[in-house]
A = this chain, B = another copy of it.
Amino acid sequence: MKAIEALKEYFTPLTRLRYIKAILEWDQQVNMPEGSVNGRSEQLALIEEIYHKKLISRETGLLIEKTDQEQNLNLIESALLREIRREYDKAIKIPIELAVEIERTASLGHQAWEKAREKKDFKIFKPYLEKMVDLKRQYAEKIGMGNSLYDSLLDIYEPGATTDWISKIFNELKPKLIKVLEKINSSSNKPDQSILKKNYNSAKQWEFSIEILKKLNFDFNIGRQDKSVHPFTTSLSSMDTRITTRIWENFLPACLFGTIHECGHGLYEMGFKKEIHDTFLADGSSLGFHESMSRLWENIVGRSREFWNYLYPLLQKSFPENLKNYPEENFYRSINVVQPSFIRVEADEVTYGLHIILRFELEQDLINNGISISELPEIWNTKMEDLLGITPPDDAKGVLQDVHWSGGLFGYFPTYTLGNLYASQIYFIALKKNPSLPEDFKKGNFTNLLNFLQSEIHQYGKIYQPLELFKRVAGEKLNINYFSNYLEKKFYPIYKI
């Protein structure tokens, strides 16, 4: 047997264990009764332990070494070796005590964060965040990639991305966003959002979300949608993709755009080519790429005039009591309101990037420069004032709003904005190759766009790393002008600028 074949075979159960873990986690988010949280975490720990033991075994090391010496690995085999080695190296470099301590601090930190947010008091969370920053600095040191500790953390989520690269991009992006925002702020012709806050029946919202999924070619033979507090996407095998949505009776966009967003993730997961099914390559190229697919469908398609030109009559039929006499144009404008706000997850397409830039700058301070954690709320608020012109009234609406840091996920935030940037440039290419796309949307045809994404991106999974994949699709490097042009072209008319 060739070494690569032996390596593949050895890793098949590891892939399955990952899926089994995903099933336990999916069930926990979607179905599990509250009382069984302890049992579930023990089950998860057991799977994790079996996985970890098999991953760091001597045999893995030997198989990787042997495969490495093998000639003539094809594209997929090389990529698989690369991904297995990535996983192995990380597991080998991090002492088990450190991994356990991070896990423990994340669990305690999450509780403290919840309490702190509830009490709007950063001090409750502070000692846990201090500890976590310290642990993740140790972690980054062990990984030892790039030019700074933060580089090692970024690489977890966006392989190949560095602090320098992202800084350069964000530095170009920041003034553009601020410029667009200022213009919009000074417009005297602002859309009205109140129509979205009327009462929309839950069951009807659910039905409508299923209809949208069908229209967007979400394949219910290998996937399903459920409800959860925080929408997410996961795969329980390469033929079993689960997305979730949430329904708020008094805010229509929560379900509507939650569904479209996760559908974008789901279509990516459903589209891997057969040859990489149920391997470590059956995953998005990076978090940024995954996010690019969800944002493309949610924002570029799902908040477009053409999309609603097709869908609005159907929406009116589902909610005649609210929408029967409400004009399509007003509805389109209402879902595209731009306004500085405190909470990142509620931010619009323009201000979203500013929330991310703030976090990116703070994370570097935390991880590379070791700033005092006590100062964090103040720095946060000052930056909010600088970037968005508003000051959070309390910590819950400021530094405490996101869950990520309690779990030690430093380096994760920038991928959200990379997703937006990738998306607009990818869509530009898609449009160049299929100029009829907007007309397709008007007819309810989303297949041409999906086919483009499928053949250019989805099928490859992790075969290509994100920067390489991006260059293959876009034909050039990431260029923020595509995004800023997209914003101007879209929002100036909405605001009659």
User: Which residues of A come within 8 Å of B, CB atoms?
Assistant: 13, 16-17, 19-20, 23-24, 27, 31-36, 38-40, 42-43, 46-47, 50, 219-224, 226, 236-240, 278
Q: With A27-B23, A42-B16 as known contacts, state yes or no: A237 contacts B36, CB within 8 Å.
A: yes
Cα A220 to Cα B36 in complex, Å, equals 11
Whether A16 contacts B31 by the Cβ 8 Å rule is no
Q: Known contacts being A16-B43, A24-B23, is A35 close to B224, with CB within 8 Å?
A: no
Please, how many angstroms separate the alpha-carbon atoms of A38 and B40 in the complex?
A: 25
- Interface contact A20-B20, CB-CB below 8 Å: yes
Return the contact of A239 from the options B20, B35, B224 (Cβ within 8 A). B35
- The answer to whether A240 and B23 touch across the interface, beta carbons within 8 angstroms, is no
State in angstroms the CA–CA spacing of A20 and B42 once bound together.
Answer: 11
- Asked whether, in the complex, the Cβ of A220 is within 8 Å of the Cβ of B20, the reply is no
Q: How far is the CB of A369 from chain B (nearest CB, A)?
A: 43
Given A27-B27, A33-B223, A35-B221, 5 new contacts (CB under 8 A): A20-B24, A20-B46, A23-B43, A33-B240, A35-B239
A239-B16 CB under 8 A given contacts A33-B221, A33-B223: no
Could you say which of A17, A35, A38 has the most chain B C-beta atoms within 10 Å of its C-beta? A35
Given known contacts A38-B239, A240-B39, A222 and B33 CB-to-CB distance under 8 angstroms: yes
Chain B residues contacting A35 (CB-CB under 8 Å) are 219, 221-222, 239-240
Closest to A237 in B: B39
Q: Which of B33, B47, B224, B240 contacts A40 (CB 8 A)?
A: B240
Give A46 Cβ to nearest chain B Cβ, in Å: 5
Which of A20, A226, A238 has the most C-beta atoms of chain B within 10 angstroms of its own C-beta? A20
Using CB atoms, name the residue of chain B closest to A31.
B224
A27-B23, A27-B27 are known contacts. Are A239 and B46 too (CB-CB below 8 A)?
no
Q: Ordered nearest first, which 4 A-B pairs have the shortest CB separation?
A: A39-B237, A36-B240, A35-B222, A36-B239
Q: Chain B residues with Cβ under 8 A from A16's Cβ? A: 42-43, 46
A39-B221 in contact given A27-B23, A46-B17, A47-B20 (Cβ < 8 Å): no
Q: Quick check: B237 and A33 within 8 Å, CB to CB?
A: no
In the complex, the chain B residue whose C-beta lies closest to that of A224 is B33
How far, in angstroms, from A223 to B42 measured CA to CA in the complex? 18
Taking the nearest CB of chain B, how far is it from the CB of A214, in angstroms? 14
Bound complex: CA of A50 vs CA of B46, how far in Å? 12
Closest chain B residue, CB of each to CB of A45: B16
A397 to B224 Cα, complex, angstroms: 35
* Distance from A263 Cβ to chain B, minimum over Cβ atoms (Å): 15
Please, how many angstroms separate the alpha-carbon atoms of A33 and B13 in the complex?
A: 22
- Which of A23, A24, A221 has the most chain B CB within a 10 Å cutoff? A23
Residue of B nearest to A236 (CB): B36
Selected A-B contacts with CB under 8 Å, 26 pairs: A16-B46, A19-B39, A20-B24, A20-B43, A20-B47, A23-B24, A23-B27, A23-B43, A27-B236, A31-B224, A31-B226, A33-B221, A33-B239, A33-B240, A35-B219, A35-B221, A35-B240, A36-B236, A38-B239, A39-B236, A39-B237, A39-B239, A40-B236, A40-B237, A42-B278, A50-B50
Give every chain B residue within 8 A of A223 (Cβ-Cβ): 33
Q: State whether A43 and B27 are in contact (beta carbons under 8 Å apart), knowing that A33-B223, A223-B33 are contacts in the complex.
A: no
Q: Chain B CB within 10 Å — which of A27, A220, A240 has the most? A: A240
The answer for the CA separation of A40 and B23 in the assembled complex, in Å, is 10
Cβ of A312 to closest chain B Cβ, rounded Å: 28
A286 to B236: give the CA distance in the assembly, Å: 33
Residues of B within 8 A of A13 (CB): 46
Task: Please name the residue on chain B nearest to A278 by beta carbon.
Answer: B39
Cβ of A42: which chain B residues have Cβ within 8 Å of it? 16, 278
Partner of A221, one of B34, B50, B221: B34
CB distance from A39 to the nearest CB of B (A): 3
Contacts of A46 in B (CB 8 A): 13, 16-17, 20
A270: min CB distance to chain B, Å: 10
A19 to B224, CA, bound (A): 23
Q: How far is the CA of A13 from the CA of B50 in the complex (A)?
A: 10
Question: Could you say which residues of chain B place their CB within 8 Å of the CB of A24?
Answer: 20, 23
CB nearest to A38 among chain B residues: B239
Nearest Cβ on chain B to A205's Cβ, whole angstroms: 16
A23 to B26, CA, bound (A): 11
